[in-house]
Amino acid sequence: MPHTVALGEPTVGEAELEAVSRVFQSGWLSGAGPTCREFEGRFATTAGTSHALATSNCGSALHLALAVLGAGPGDEVIVGDYTFPATGHSVVWTGATPVFADIRPDIWTIDPAAVEAAITPRTVGIIAVDVFGQPADFDQLRVIADKHGLWLVEDAACSAGASYKGRRAGSLADIATFSFHGRKGITAGEGGALTTDNQEWADHARKLHTYGIAPALTREASTDLPIPSFDEAGYNYRMSDVAAGIMLAQLDRLDGLVARRGELAAMYGERLPDIAGVTPPIALDDRVHPWQSYVITLDSEIDRGLVAQHLRSNGVQCNFGTYASHVQPVYGFEGHLPVSANLWMRHLAIPMHANLAEADVDRVVEVLAEAVDLAR
């Protein structure tokens, strides 16, 4: 059998190994150290913001964002429904209630009209998810947020390298959060970041991400023996300097990785329309899609399970798209969001990563065509 075509795969090599070696030589491997600070400075520039904070993952960054924005018991936060449940979980962790809003049927980001309809006197904010990396409709969402006095968070977990109307992902809302999980466009295996232009929120998030005190690096140069005082219960949400070293090397690759994924998406876009019953995803002209995942929509009469089984048995990895969060029992959400619920059952992620060759794309499309014929 030919080699397996991986669903996702990191692009790493000597540059990342050299970066880790430099961190080892520095003697500071733990979290929130000098390499983290260097990464934060560079990532803030990448995101187009004044501040960035390196975190253990995107979930912790989301929790920090909501904590510094003041979400708590009795509050409601409107959340784009089509997302990994870390988005909804972050609201639950604060004691607030996630209120899920349906999505656009074309690019699967939160529908601004659904946001407007979901606002109640208890609503304090909105979390818009850049689904698979393509940014949501932030101009419209900002108008809604300002009209009702709400804050706006960008869940940019998949969005490194994306942009919206010329503005970079990470700068599109009051606070944004990123993931550097192994499936993301740039990765250290795990990790995340929070970005904002607000100094007060950035400082508070930095305090909370180190148990509620300033990181040790701030005391490193002292000739005295400063002893921090805990006046607020925080968390251990720090990124290690080892991971930050890897992320510095990954930032050097970012533009090339996004460009290559765009080329691969174009290849798929040329070939997939020949398969009846398969609709390829779209990228809107006013935004740059980084193609963290490539997710197709199957016609409703096609058995997705049989398609997946045929792909996997022929060495082509695949998976479902993401979650219709409102149907997850953990939330006890009352209501039906028809667009998200329908697409959740019809979406299929096929291989997308910068290491794919054109021959891999051809093979994926060939096996997918066979699978769809068998699954009608």
Q: What is the DSSP string of 238-255?
A: BPBHHHHHHHHHHHHHHH
Q: What is the CATH number of domain 14-251?
A: 3.40.640.10
Mean pLDDT (10-residue bins), the chain, 376 residues: 91 98 94 95 98 98 98 98 98 98 98 98 98 98 98 98 98 98 97 98 96 80 81 96 98 98 98 97 98 98 98 98 98 96 98 98 98 95
CATH topology match: 14-251 vs 254-374: no
207 tagged catalytic: no
Q: Could you give the count of Cα atoms lying within 13 Å of 275 in the half-sphere of its Cβ?
A: 29
Q: Which helix (H) or strand (E) holds 348?
A: strand 347-350
The count of other CB atoms within 10 Å of the CB of residue 286 is 12
- Give the whole-angstrom CA distance, residue 102 versus residue 106: 12
C-beta neighbour count of 147 within 10 angstroms: 10
User: Could you state, in order of their start, the residue ranges of all structural domains in the chain?
Assistant: 14-251, 254-374
- Where are any strands of DSSP class E within 44-161? 51-55, 76-80, 97-101, 123-129, 151-155
Q: Is the pTM of this model over 0.85?
A: yes
pLDDT digits (tens, 9 = 90+) for 25-48: 999 999 989 999 999 999 999 999
| Cβ proximity of 107 and 284 under 8 Å | yes
The type of residue at 41 is G
Strand 287-288 and strand 76-80: pairing? unpaired
Catalytic residue among 147, 165, 184, 207: 184
Looking at the structure, give the CATH architecture of the domain made up of residues 254-374: Alpha-Beta Complex (3.90)
Token representation of residue 67 = 């904590």
